[in-house]
Chain A
Amino acid sequence: MKKYLPWVGLLARLVLGGVLLAAGLLKYQHLDKSQMAVRAYEMLPISLANFLGIVLPFVEIAVGILLVIGAAIRISALVGGVLMFAFMIGISQAWARGLSIDCGCFGGGGQVKPGTANYLPELLRDGGLGLLAIYLFRYPQSKFGLDRHTSDGDQNNG
């Protein structure tokens, strides 16, 4: 069983990293909309929300690339996990307060027609990705990466 762990790690890295990278790139195309998406959660002061709307895609892109190539896996997984946790808080509070917004997870964002928002699948997806992040933080060993605990053989070097 132990020898499959690095492959599980690789899969987790590619899924979490790939999703973050895609989400970041899509938001990067439309930064005005990304800012709008963050504002629409009505959680942060407007100026901070606008700043976060610009910074967030860049963070996602950086963490996504690092996870895909397997460098700084633990720190990247930690950042990814914190992001997923924050997204889940944002979506839950929007749901609980009855806001009608597009989560803006993959670009898009802002208010939508009342009743058309669909929060449950988004929460489940972010929850799943959060679990992958926790797994990678706990077991960063994985195949084809640059980190030294990358393949199971050279763990002793650390």
Chain B
Amino acid sequence: MANQKPGKDNFTRNLVIAVVVGVVLIMLVPTVLSKKTNTSAKIPASVSAERGYGIVFNDNLKGVPVLDIYEDFQCPICAQFEKLQGDYIESLITAKKATVVYHTLSFLGPESVNAANAAACSADQGKFLQYHRALYANQPQENSGAWSNDVLGILGQAAGITSKQFTSCVNDMAYQGWVNNVAAAGAKANVNSTPTVFINGKEIDRKTEYFDAAKFKAAVERG
């Protein structure tokens, strides 16, 4: 290298630098844009853009606490939370004692995106809560490849979903844009962990209130 003319040497070096920086920039721009909210994305039934694109139950109730639940279907602690508090939260919904908004985040990987998309498809069938429960009951190891869209489609049967429309919605990733919007809204809401529960816009106490049935109930009733 020492024998080469400095000019030629510099040309190669500058070219390499330009290529590296250029390629990284070309990849960066579409990535930044893809994280923006896409307001024209197809959204499932019972979703409210004003409520961070979450799936809402009892949207129009007045004078009841609002629970915002941020979760990732692949997160093991979310499965524990569902096991402990799931029945209680569902009872709040059926007894119309609270507005509950499910935010299905997907930061753990592609299979979280698949699962969130499938959950949105189940909302169209009116079976979100049943499917939500079925997903957690059958939660595999993170990103083990178990939650392909085929499997997620079949899992619909565990939630009593039989329609072909559901399977094609799952396989087509019909709500991928919506999943992205939920993630962007979660980022704006400063959610840094799952599960995260806000009651009337305020996070409950992470040390004590998540995994204690009585304290969680007290937090909901306090509002």
Contacts and interface: CB of A to CB of B under 8 A. Distances in A.
A111 B206 contact: yes
A39 B16 contact: no
Given A65-B20, A146-B13, A46 B28 contact: no
Interface in A8-39: 29-33, 35-36, 39
Contacts of B9: 146, 148, 157
Interface stretch (A54-62, A124-132, A134-142): A54-62
A110 B192 contact: yes
Contacts, number: 87
Interface size class of chain A, counting residues whose CB lies under 8 Å from the partner chain: 35 or more
Interface in B69-118: 105-109
Interface in B165-223: 183, 187-188, 190-193, 206-207
Given A31-B35, A39-B192, A51-B32, A71 B109 contact: no
Main secondary structure of the interface of A (DSSP, over half): helix
A75 to B, nearest CB: 9
Output the residue of B17, B183, B188 with the most chain A CB within 10 A. B17
B13 A148 contact: yes
A154 B6 contact: yes
Contact of B17 (A54, A72, A158): A72
B190 A46 contact: yes
Contact of A151 (B1, B6, B193): B1
B190 A39 contact: yes
A61 B24 contact: yes
Contacts of A147: 13
B187 A36 contact: yes
Nearest to A40: B192
Contacts of A71: 13, 16-17, 20
Contacts of B6: 148, 154, 157-158
B207 A54 contact: no
Interface of B: 1-2, 6, 9-10, 12-13, 16-17, 20-21, 24-25, 27-28, 31-32, 35, 105-109, 183, 187-188, 190-193, 206-207
11 contacts: A31-B31, A31-B35, A32-B107, A32-B183, A33-B108, A35-B35, A58-B28, A61-B24, A62-B24, A153-B2, A157-B6
Given A36-B107, A39-B187, A72-B13, 17 more contacts: A30-B108, A31-B31, A36-B187, A36-B191, A46-B187, A46-B188, A58-B27, A62-B24, A65-B20, A66-B17, A69-B20, A71-B16, A71-B17, A110-B193, A111-B193, A111-B206, A114-B207
